[in-house]
Amino acid sequence: MAIRLRRVSGCWVALCAAETDPKDDDVYLDDSQHYAISCKFAFENDLYEVDERIINLMETQKVRDAREEIEKWLYNQSMP
């Protein structure tokens, strides 16, 4: 499903593109972009079986591990 990301009353909301008219500041995601984000969310949260091809492609772009980065950041915050 193509979606629009829109700020409404200061909050980001995701809307069905077919059910809404475009506004100037909308971020439009076509079906394939929405699918890619859905795969990422499902994979990270173990929600359901995901498209392994998409996950493998995502992994080829990873340059650092988020868990390691937050652990380093937390460690540095605790230092005097």
What is the reported pLDDT for 40? 93
- Over residues 37-60, the pLDDT tens digits come to 999 999 989 888 888 988 888 888
Count of beta carbons in the 10 Å neighbourhood of residue 48: 8
Q: Model-level pTM?
A: 0.69
The answer for residues whose C-beta is within 8 angstroms of residue 23's C-beta and 6 or more apart is 4, 6
Neighbours of 3 (CB within 10 A): 22
Q: Which contiguous run of DSSP H or E holds residue 9?
A: none
